[in-house]
Amino acid sequence: MSTQDRTGNSESNPNVTILAFDTSTAAFAAAIVRDGVRLDATISFTERNHSVKLLSEIKELLGRNGLQGKDLDAIAVGQGPGSYTGVRIAVTAAKTLAWTWGKPLIGVSSLEALALGAWSELRENGTDVAELGERAWIVPLMDARRGQVYTSRYLVDRTGSWERADGDGIRLIEDWSKQLGHQAASADGKGSPSVWFVGEIGATQQTAIEQAQLETDVRLRTLACEMSAVAVGQLAGIRYRQGERDDVHGFVPNYTQLAEAEAKLLAVSRGE
């Protein structure tokens, strides 16, 4: 074994194979990603209860690619936010599989995966950053009911950079879309970015974005798209190569908010 083999860097370990999955949205999405490239993927919507098919789908996905647990380098999972129950299903499966197989666990933001998946889709469709300006904002949306969305914001540009601008949180879509419209219009420097709202764009989100459009000159665009497990695997692959690992036992979903009972208790203790 050469010294290079022991460093664990990309040169010595050319094939990084990652099993990735996410159940934070209405989709059950799973993929096998090798060195940042999609090897195979599956997505299904048949049951809102992702717990039913999850394991047989993963088994089938591995099987048809001739893979076993021991062939994997890591298990990647969307950590949320999203449906509480949904996120728990993928996180529990990922923790248990990683622990049982003795493989590294790598969590990624489900919102970031949704955004990256959309960005890939836009580029595949020939939507060029240059045509839209120097840079764009990718704003992933997941419906969180009562006019709220789980969301964040990513900056992309024609060099291919990918940068988080706002972290995962729960916001009112009405306020959020207006805020981003104003912010984009007043962005100084190289001119206004183009703004893309991506992911779960239902009637509520569409209406709010159209309202926000009336208040800004910057074009607010939408792309309805599904969760991309390939993106989960790609984001995890980056973390993997940087030597990052999550603690399997300590790993928990990112709910972005307290459970309702906890929030109430906290309010009482503050005398609210």
Binding site for other proteins (CB under 8 A): 49, 51-56, 58-59, 69, 84-85, 88-89, 91-93, 95-97, 99-101, 248-250, 252-253, 255, 259-262, 265
The minimum distance between CB 66 and other proteins, in angstroms, equals 16
Distance CA 138, CA 155 (A): 6
The minimum distance between CB 68 and other proteins, in angstroms, equals 9
Distance CA 19, CA 216 (A): 42
Please identify, using beta-carbon distances, which residue of 61 and 236 lies nearer to other proteins: 61
The minimum distance between CB 209 and other proteins, in angstroms, equals 31
Give residues with Cβ within 8 angstroms of 119, minimum separation 6: 138, 154, 156, 162, 198
Please identify, using beta-carbon distances, which residue of 54 and 198 lies nearer to other proteins: 54
Please identify, using beta-carbon distances, which residue of 165 and 265 lies nearer to other proteins: 265
Of 37, 11, 226, the residue nearest 114 (C-alpha): 226
The minimum distance between CB 142 and other proteins, in angstroms, equals 18
Please identify, using beta-carbon distances, which residue of 31 and 248 lies nearer to other proteins: 248
The minimum distance between CB 49 and other proteins, in angstroms, equals 7
Contact of 212 with 181, CB cutoff 8 Å: yes
Please identify, using beta-carbon distances, which residue of 87 and 138 lies nearer to other proteins: 87
Of 174, 181, 131, 118, the residue nearest 149 (C-alpha): 174
The minimum distance between CB 250 and other proteins, in angstroms, equals 8
Give residues with Cβ within 8 angstroms of 133, minimum separation 6: 190, 191, 192, 193, 194
Q: Length of the chain in residues, anyone? A: 272
Contact of 151 with 169, CB cutoff 8 Å: yes
Please identify, using beta-carbon distances, which residue of 90 and 208 lies nearer to other proteins: 90
Distance CA 227, CA 77 (A): 12
